[in-house]
Amino acid sequence: MTVFSAPLIFHLFEIVSQKVHGTPFGGISPSRICIFGTRMDYKTLHFHQEHFLAPFVELGYVMSNSEKALEYKTITNGVIGLGVILDGNAYIKERGQWTTIPRFSIFGMSDKSYQIKLSAAYKEISVGFKPYYFNLFVKEGLNEFTKGKVIDAESVFGRDALHRLFEKVRNEPSQQLLATYFSDFFQRQFLSKKTNQKVLFATKMIYQDDANKVDDIAQKLNVSTTTVRNLFKHHIGVSPKELIKITRTHRALNYQKKQVQTLTELGLQLGYFDQSHFIREFKAIVGVSPKTYFKSEKLAFDFYNYGRWLSDNFAE
């Protein structure tokens, strides 16, 4: 999530829109929700057919936290994007220390959980890209944006271009114009019209749960596993194995406690044939074992409904 805070929050609004409003993210209206006692106002950005960005974007939103500061923990959901902090401050905890997230930031995919803090009177606007497509807008390979690095976007897109975007969007109330401004910004950054069909096919396999091993992808593409890994490293930013791990863990987290019969059954449904492998991967990302996680009413409820956890929910 964005990780910057944005992609970390992306999954929250995706879940809220589907479970509270009952519609896909792109179809919900401006709304107000209360998360962990903190009121949050958000509006979705609708990228329509006439927008250059429409084929590339997974989702976008404007979010504000007007009442009080909020601290939470969550994990990335495989989205890479650009976040622009309009008001207030955001922080990410790294090696036990809080680090300020830049006003313009890019957050790469990671297979670890993160702790984020938002100030009171916080507001941001963010756009998240479908797997692979962010690669079409940056000169560097996406391996430069991985492992949860918080990247100052000025070093990628340039200070002047981002500040011009900021001045346009800061006080703009129209969602349609906001989408247009972001679409125009990225159209000017577009580097390549040629897409790598092998990478697109491979990522679709993973997100549609059609691949549980790198061998599955290599066989479908008729290439070596080494070729698959190299393609992912450059175009996606993480290895195919890491992306599979991220997506499977998200599927596990979206089970409610009452849906989990046994860990063995859950592991099998997620494509694990070795329960110890499932437990090891889950704990590495979430921080606790699946047994501990699903025994906790609070942990399972919070992520299933909100896409994140209060920072103290993991306390012993």
pLDDT digits (tens, 9 = 90+) for 15-30: 333 433 333 323 333 4
Task: Summarize the confidence of residues 244-264 as an average pLDDT.
Answer: 81
Quickly tell me which residue has 């896909």 as its tokens. Answer: 24
Give the highest mean pLDDT range of 63-77, 215-229, 281-295, 297-311: 215-229
Domain spans in the chain, listed from the N-terminal domain onward: 6-189, 196-245, 255-316
- Ranges 3-12, 119-128, 166-175, 197-206: which has the least confidence: 3-12
| 305 pLDDT above the threshold of 70 | no
Specify the residue for token string 């207030």.
Answer: 88
Question: How do residues 128-183 score in pLDDT, each as one tens digit?
Answer: 888 788 888 988 777 767 666 678 999 999 999 999 999 999 999 999 999 999 99
Closest CA to 58 of 4, 5, 153, 126: 126
Return mean pLDDT, the chain: 80
Instruction: Please give the average per-residue pLDDT across 207-228, as a whole number.
Output: 93
As a whole number, mean pLDDT of residues 22-42 equals 49
pLDDT reported for residue 169: 97
Percent of the chain beyond pLDDT 90?
37
In Å, what is the CA distance from 45 to each residue of 25, 177, 180, 264?
9, 9, 9, 40
Paired sense of beta strands 80-87 and 104-107, if any: antiparallel
- Cβ contacts of residue 142 below 8 Å, gap of 6+? 80, 108, 134, 135, 234, 235, 236, 237
Whether 88 contacts 67, CB under 8 Å: no
Q: How many Å apart are CA 308 and CA 36, to the nearest integer?
A: 10
Name the helix (H) or strand (E) containing 31. strand 31-35
The pLDDT of residue 121 is: 92
Contact 113, 76 (CB under 8 A): no
Residue 103: closest CA among 91, 120, 79, 86 = 86
What is the CATH code for 6-189? 2.60.120.10
